[in-house]
Amino acid sequence: MRVLKSTLPIAIASLAFVACSEEQVDTEAPEMTQVLINGSDDEITVQAGTQLSIDVSAVDNESVSQVKIDIHEVFDGHEHGKVQVDPWTYVKILNTSGATVTVSDNPMIPTEVASGPYHVVLRVLDDNGNEGEFEEREIVIENGSQPIVNVTSPVDEDVYQLGQTITPMGTVTDVEGLEEIHLILFQIEHDEHGHDHDDEHLHEVAEDEMEFTDDPTTFDLSNMSVTIPATEEAGHYLLMIKAVDIEGNHTIVEVELDIEE
Amino acid sequence: MRILYLFAAFCIAVTTFAQEEQLYKVVIVDQDEEEVTSAYLELSDGRKVAFPQYDGRFVYSFKSSNSSEFIKVVQTSGIGIPEGPKVDYFTVYPDSINVLEVKRIYSVLPPVDVGSTLTSGNIKFRSSGAALDDDHIRERAGNSLSEAIDVLPGVHAVNTGVGIAKPMIRGFIGNRVQVVDNGIRQEGQQWGMDHGLEIDQFSVDEVEVISGPSAIAEGPGMLTGVVRINPKWESIKTGFSGTIQGLGKTNNRLYGGSGLLNYRSTNQRLIVSARASVQDFADYRVPDDQFIYNGFILPLPNGILKNTAGTELNFKADVRYMFNSDEYLTYTFSVFDQVVGLFPGATGIPRAFDIGEIGDQRNVATPNQETRHYKHIFDYQVSRGYYTHTLNIGIQENIRRERSQPHGHGLTYIDSSNTLALGLNLTSIEAKYSTEYAKDNYSLSGGLNYQNKANRISGWEFLIPAYDRNEFGAFFLMKWRTSDWNYSAGVRLDGANTNVQGHSQPYYAEPDSLVERVAPFTLLQVRPSVTLGLSKQLGNHGINGHVSYLNRLPAVNELASNGVHHGTFRHEVGNPDLDPESGYVGELNAFLNFEPLSIKMTGFGGYYSNFIYLNPSGRFSPLPDAGQLYQYEQSAMVQFGGEVSATYDIYLGSKAWNDYLLHLTLIGEYVSATSTETNLPLPFQPPLGVTFIPEFERTGERSSWSVGSELQFVAAQDRVARNELTTPGYGLIHIYAGYSDVLSNGNEWGVSVRIQNLTNQSYLRHLSRYRILNLPEQGINFILQVKYSF
């Protein structure tokens, strides 16, 4: 017991020391203050074979250490995975230092990449390993051979009734040949909390799809339709027309609709 | 008592020894027919027998030349403490097992147990001393074995959705918490936070959690806590018997069942037992229709978490042959087969289009994980005089398949039908021999173990390399008693020779490139561990504790991983230069008994000079869409904490057999672990929690029923590691009721209902893998169980 009596106070004291010395630990995460892609902080459309310019400003209470840029496709998983032209993926880690930094990167978009929507994901770290929240930007890359979608009807803010069938008017053309076309109706659900910039999300309510075996170069959209389920609620809806050609190029056209009871 | 008489009847062959000396065997049970091991015997000549031998049950044995012996049974609160408060006298005879029934005074676990005992296929909780009494979690019906024992003080389950969970003891998990089944270490990919324990919860007869000296004989790295699963052979009736169980849950529309068939031969030598279990469940529901991730609001249509359905199919067979009452051989074979879907956001950034369309709620799409575990265990034991020799051999194969869409990870050069992201195939063979010499007031035991593990990998992702590892160990444990104290002292030596195969693969989407992810290496490490335990009875009360110096040899994932671990959402990098993790740990338990109030208090602490942990490097992973690199490093760490459990029984009557009993239980626990280098807490530490369990029960001669509630209060966890999210506190209410009845033909049936999360509370669980995504836990869940035994 003598051993225990003599070591116990030391053990207790060392615990107290640990408890009291929790100052000066930097757990504050860095933060991106501005992200500009080709000078814009909005969604942009860019051409394959051109250079992107990405500028990221970030702050940290001590020192920002790295900014990471990831670019990948967001062809949204509806297609069936037959692609001939690879989508573009890009990874870059930029080293930096200082409490307030701006870093830039100018990646060249290869000419041979699939057309369609892409995400630019930006992450930031400080010297101590604190991770900031990531930023995500959408860009649309076109390579000149993507399907051309020309929708004459419906147009934005057209009004439909629940249970009604929407038959779009217009054409899709592609010189290489079309692989598949999707017509998807989403309900736009607004969030009452209004958190951050992305205060709405999409809820798919109906879909029609065409898969081609004969690689047509033109398609009449009136051959497709979606019916608004009568069981859904009235409100804002999004009609998405997505065309994919045999090379894997994507073109997406969106029309916002008002749907009434 | 029928079972006990049967048991006594079959123990016919008792060896007689030199001249007139005869062997006596004594089993002590309490009023509930549960074995009492916290006792010792005193013979008429003053000799004391302190330590029962486990032989299917705990048997005290001694030799005497008298034709009968008048013995004193002294119940204690630890291992054989002299002059306990309760003394009973019995006359015992040689040539058969003497089953002595005593009234339990105050049951406690063997020295330094953190938990208690859990038994039976439908999870019946037994209180050999922790706070809960006999039937308290019988109706818990957890989503897995780990969750069923989550209520024990100091024990938690770390879950990945529903169905996948692993046990945590005092904030330790993975490589630091071993599970020993029938003497053999469960060998899967236990390092993975998102990997579950591959054991059928229906098949488990008894679970105990032990730490300190008793754990040193179990295997390496177990001094801070090991989960031990024990078989229960003695309760099997002669002839054919069995149980059929059914289970249903509303939240994830689970249905399941388990069938058990036993046979015990009339000469009592052969016991055969087989069990098959099945569970199938749909996507589970949470009490929210959206969640916020990184500033984005994401939908959960009708509160359903897409692709969290699963199926489990298990089989187990046991054969035991008794050569005589002192010698047996057991063979156990089991298969565990589970497929569980993963919420799509769990393997990358969650996207509305991935999770907003639920589709078929019962199917398992990608991503998912499939685990199949085969296990063969041989258990041979023979007692000769004062010696007991035990040999265990275990052969296991763990096949793990993590599946996801290669294109979802940008790997467009891989065919979309090739969904095998990560395949891990671990085969292991373990052999363990131990011998114990027990006489009068001391026992000595020693043993050797050897284990060979071979890990092979496949799939287009990479996390840990293929490796071969040979582990060997030896232990020596001594227990003895003086007039005031009981001591136990143990020492272990463990070694591991690890041969890691290097691994190279193409860099991301460039199939022609080749990047070395792990270089090959060979590492031999050998380290000792030492433990000293003691206990003392103080009137109605008792204390026990241990101090230990321990060394844990690094596991292969700590030495050689290099890849994105979806279980933790980060890029983890191993470090082949790690030293064995050494630390000094201690634990002190106090048992206070103020009839009818019983209190157990535990304090524990530890200092590790080089605790192994994942440290954020301040650098990004070069892999696409991966966040920061986390590297295995070592630094000093201090851990401390405590647990309190208290029970209070109010008899509404005269404590007779048929009386109503109000049983109140309170459990509280706290643990803190801090790196002294960064002054930051370790990640994944359970928050302060308090659980109150009032239960009203009536036990009759044929039928019994109980109703109760578990009121769980969990504090916020604000002590978090760097980049770990804090978690707000919450309170949960669960209620349950059960009824069972013995029919006139002796068969028994029972039904129980439980409502989990009665108020449909939306809460985040700090120890849930989905907490990182801000996903709430399961909402209200009605659970129905029926059981029929013949």
pLDDT of B148 = 72
B contacts of A73 (beta carbons < 8 Å): 410
Inform me whether the pLDDT recorded for B397 exceeds 60. Answer: yes
pLDDT for the residue numbered A200: 66
Closest-approach residue (CA) in chain A for B301: A203
With CA atoms as reference, the chain A residue closest to B615 would be A129
Strand pairing of A54-59 and A100-105?
antiparallel
Restricting to A residues 118-137, those with a Cβ less than 8 Å away from any Cβ of B are 121, 123, 125-131, 133-134, 136
To the nearest whole Å, the CA of A247 is away from the closest chain B CA by 13
Q: Given a cut of 90, is residue B44 above it in pLDDT?
A: no
DSSP string, B279-343: EEE---B-S-SEEEETTEEEE-GGGB-TT--EEEEEEEEEEEEEEETTEEEEEEEEEEEEEEE--
- Indicate whether A3 pLDDT > 90: no
| Contact with chain A for residue B678, Cβ under 8 A | yes
Look at A21-25, A99-103, B610-614 and tell me which has the smallest mean pLDDT. Answer: A21-25
Contact between chains at B296 and A189 (C-beta distance less than 8 A): no
**Interface touch B353/A204, C-beta < 8 Å:** yes
In B, which residues are within 8 Å of A232 by CB distance? none
- Quote the ipTM score: 0.78
Chain A residue at shortest CA distance from B302: A203
Contact residues for B272 (Cβ-Cβ < 8 A; gap 6+): B262, B263, B317, B318, B319, B320
pLDDT at B408: 66
Strands ordered across the beta sheet of A90-95:
A44-47, A135-142, A116-126, A64-73, A90-95
Q: Give the pLDDT confidence score for residue B116 in this predicted structure.
A: 31
Average pLDDT over residues B261-275: 93
CB contact under 8 A, A129 and B410: no
Chain A hits for B674, CB-CB cut-off 8 Å, are 18
State the first-to-last Cα distance of chain A, in angstroms, to the nearest integer: 82
Contact criterion met (CB < 8 Å) for B680 and A83: no
Residue B588 identity (one-letter amino acid): L
**Is the CB of residue A251 less than 8 Å from the CB of residue A149?**
yes
Answer whether B616 touches A (CB < 8 Å). Answer: yes
In this predicted structure, the answer to whether residue B168 has a pLDDT above a threshold of 80 is: yes
A158 vs chain B: nearest CA distance in angstroms? 24
Q: What is the DSSP letter of A221?
A: G
Please compute the mean of the pLDDT values over residues B624-646 and round it to a whole number: 91
The mean pLDDT value for B466-489 works out to 90
Chain A: give the shortest CA distance to residue B254, in Å: 27
Q: In this model, does residue A79 exceed pLDDT 80?
A: no
* B117-789 placed in CATH 2.30.42.10: no
The class level of CATH for B2-101 reads mainly beta
Residues of chain B with Cβ-Cβ distance to A199 below 8 Å are: 297
CA B174/CA B197 separation, integer angstroms: 10
Interface of A with B in 142-171 (CB under 8 A): none
Residue A18 — pLDDT band, cuts 50, 70, 90? very low
A65 vs B contacts (CB less than 8 Å): 618-619
A4, A6, A131: which to substitute to probe chain B, counting the most B Cβ within 10 Å?
A131
* pLDDT > 60? residue A202: yes
> Measured between CB atoms, does B556 come within 8 Å of chain A?
no
Give A76 to chain B, closest Cα distance, Å.
Answer: 7
Q: What is the DSSP string of B152-170?
A: STTEEEEEETTTEEEEEET
Mean pLDDT of chain B: 83
Q: Which residues contact B229 (CB under 8 A, 6 or more apart)?
A: B179, B180, B181, B182, B199, B204, B205, B206, B207
Would you call A25 and B625 a contact, using CB atoms and an 8 Å cutoff? Answer: no
Predicted pLDDT of residue B726:
94
In tens, the pLDDT along A220-241 reads 999 999 999 988 888 899 999 9
Count Cβ atoms within 10 A of the Cβ of residue A191 and give its class: 0-12 exposed, 13-18 middle, 19 or more buried: middle
At residue B77, the 3 state secondary structure works out as coil
| Contact predicate B155/B114, CB 8 Å | yes
- Flag whether pLDDT at B749 surpasses 80: yes
CB spacing of A25 vs B615 below 8 angstroms: no
Per-residue pLDDT, averaged over B323-333, amounts to 91
User: Would you call A25 and B616 a contact, using CB atoms and an 8 Å cutoff?
Assistant: no
- The answer, yes or no, to whether residue A38 has pLDDT greater than 80, is yes
pLDDT value at B188 more than 50: yes
Q: In whole angstroms, what is the distance from residue B97 CA to residue B26 CA?
A: 6
pLDDT at B434 (0 to 100): 95
CB-based contact B315:B347 (threshold 8 Å): no
- Best of A68, A71, A187, A254 to mutate (most B CBs within 10 Å, chain B): A68
Q: What is the DSSP letter of B744?
A: T
CB–CB of B680/B721 below 8 Å?
A: yes
Architecture of the domain made up of A31-142: Sandwich (2.60)
Residue of B307, B366, B412 best to disrupt the A interface, most CBs of A under 10 A: B412
From the candidates A18, A56, A231, which should be mutated to test the interface with B, based on the most B CB atoms within 10 A? Answer: A18
Whether B348 and A134 have beta carbons less than 8 Å apart is answered as no
- At residue B368 the predicted structure's pLDDT band, cuts being 50, 70 and 90, is very high
pLDDT of amino acid B78: 36
Using a CB–CB cutoff of 8 Å, tell me whether A190 touches chain B: no
Least confident range from A233-237, B23-27, B61-65, B346-350: namely: B346-350
In this structure, how many other beta carbons lie within 10 angstroms of the beta carbon of residue B630? Answer: 21
Task: Count Cβ atoms below 10 Å from residue B288 Cβ, excluding itself.
Answer: 13
A138 in contact with B, Cβ within 8 Å: no
Place of tokens 């106090």: B590
- Residue in the structure block whose two tokens are 């199938």: B280
**DSSP per position, B3-52:** HHHHHHHH-----B-STT-EEEEEEEE-TTS-B--SEEEE-TTS-EE--P
User: Looking at residue B118, what is its pLDDT?
Assistant: 32
Instruction: Give the pairing of strands A200-211 and B184-185.
Output: unpaired
CA distances for B560 relative to A10, A123, B685, angstroms:
37, 26, 25
Residues A188-210: what's their mean pLDDT?
68
Give all strands (DSSP E) within B325-367, no chain letters: 327-341
Question: Cβ of B354 under 8 Å from any chain A Cβ?
Answer: yes
If one compares B317 and B678, the residue with the highest pLDDT of the two is B317
Q: Do B407 and A81 touch (CB under 8 A)?
A: yes
3-class SS of residue B769: helix
Boundaries of every domain in chain B: 2-101, 117-789
Higher pLDDT, B154 or B611: B611
pLDDT for B788 equals 93
CB–CB contact A121 B353 (8 Å):
no
A250 touches chain B (CB under 8 A): no
pLDDT per residue as tens digits for the range B712-746: 999 999 999 999 999 999 999 999 898 988 888 88
Note whether A89 contacts B410, CB cutoff 8 Å: yes
The pLDDT confidence band at residue B651, using thresholds 50, 70 and 90, is confident
**Contact indicator for A48, A87 with CB cutoff of 8 Å:** no
Identify which has the larger pLDDT, B45 or B744. B744
List the single range of A181-195, A225-239, B555-569 with lowest mean pLDDT.
A181-195
Given a cut of 80, whether residue B55 has pLDDT beyond it is no
Higher-confidence position of B415 and B749: B749
Q: Which residue has the tokens 């990608």?
A: B366
Mean pLDDT for B755-781 is 92
Mutate to test the interface with A, among B297, B637, B725 (most CBs of A within 10 A): B297
- Cis check for the bond before B350: say yes or no (omega within 30 of 0): no
- Whether the pLDDT of residue B142 is over 90: the answer is no
Which tokens go with A39? Answer: 């000078």
Q: With an 8 Å Cβ cutoff, are B617 and A189 in contact?
A: no
Handedness of CA B610, B614, B620, B623 (dihedral sign): positive
Q: Which of residues 280-299 of B touch A (CB under 8 A)?
A: 290, 292, 294-299
> Chain B partners of A204 at a C-beta cutoff of 8 Å?
353, 356-357
In this prediction, residue B141 has a pLDDT band, given cuts at 50, 70 and 90, of low
The phi and psi torsions of B285 (rounded to 5 degrees) equal -115, 145
CA distance B299 to chain A (A): 7
CB < 8 Å to B290, chain A: 191, 201
- Cβ contact B722–A201 (<8 Å): no
**Residue B122 is which amino acid?**
N
Q: Is B620 on the interface with A (CB under 8 A)?
A: yes
pLDDT digit string, tens, across residues B103-138 = 654 333 233 333 333 322 222 222 222 323 334 444
The winner for highest mean pLDDT among A53-57, B297-301, B661-665 is A53-57
DSSP A215: -
Cα B774 to its chain centre, rounded Å, is 27
pLDDT at A20 over 80: no
B482 touches chain A (CB under 8 A): no
Fold of A148-260: Immunoglobulin-like (2.60.40)
Q: CA angle, corner B281, sides to B277 and B286, nearest 5? A: 140
Strands (E), A116-246: 116-126, 135-142, 148-153, 158-161, 165-166, 169-173, 178-190, 200-211, 218-220, 226-227, 235-245
Closest Cβ opposite residue B412 in set A24, A87, A134: A87
Confidence of residue B357 (pLDDT cuts 50, 70, 90): confident
Q: Any chain A CB within 8 A of the CB of B495?
A: no
Over residues B8-33, the mean pLDDT reads 58
Q: Which pLDDT belongs to residue B635?
A: 93
What the block records as the tokens of B123 is 């999870």
- Least confident range from B18-22, B257-261, B411-415: namely B18-22
B699 touches chain A (CB under 8 A): no
Q: Is B628 in contact with A125 (Cβ distance < 8 A)?
A: yes
Residue ranges covered by each domain of chain A: 31-142, 148-260
Question: Fold identical between A31-142 and A148-260?
Answer: yes
**B329, amino acid identity:** L
Using a CB–CB cutoff of 8 Å, tell me whether B506 touches chain A: no
User: Given pLDDT bands bounded at 50, 70 and 90, which one contains residue B532?
Assistant: very high
* A100 contacts: CB under 8 Å, gap ≥ 6: A57, A58, A59
| Residue B358 confidence (pLDDT) | 78
